[in-house]
Amino acid sequence: MGEDRSIKSALRQTAEQFHILVDSVEEYAIYMLNPAGNVMTWNTGAQNIKRYSAEEIIGKNSTRGLER
């Protein structure tokens, strides 16, 4: 039981570190789409390049965010 919690905690920490790393990239647009083509994540670089904030584009179809 304790080992499972430790593994889950380590995975959660790794995921948080990954998100911090991706969000800090400002020169490249990094985003994730779901199978339907909707934007699931949107980093600072995507916001700078495409001129949409994460709040404006997450959940929307990627064709909207990729045309700018």
Q: Name residue, tokens 């965010």.
A: 65
**What structural domains does the chain harbor?**
2-66 (3.30.450.20)
Helices (H), the chain: 2-24, 44-50, 54-57, 62-66
| Mean pLDDT for the stretch of residues 61-65 | 77
Which stretch of DSSP H or E encloses residue 40? strand 39-42
Q: What is the pLDDT of residues 22-40, one digit of tens each?
A: 999 999 999 999 999 999 9
Give the per-residue pLDDT at 59.
95
pLDDT band, very low/low/confident/very high, at 62 (cuts 50, 70, 90): confident
Alpha-carbon distance 20 to 8, whole Å?
18
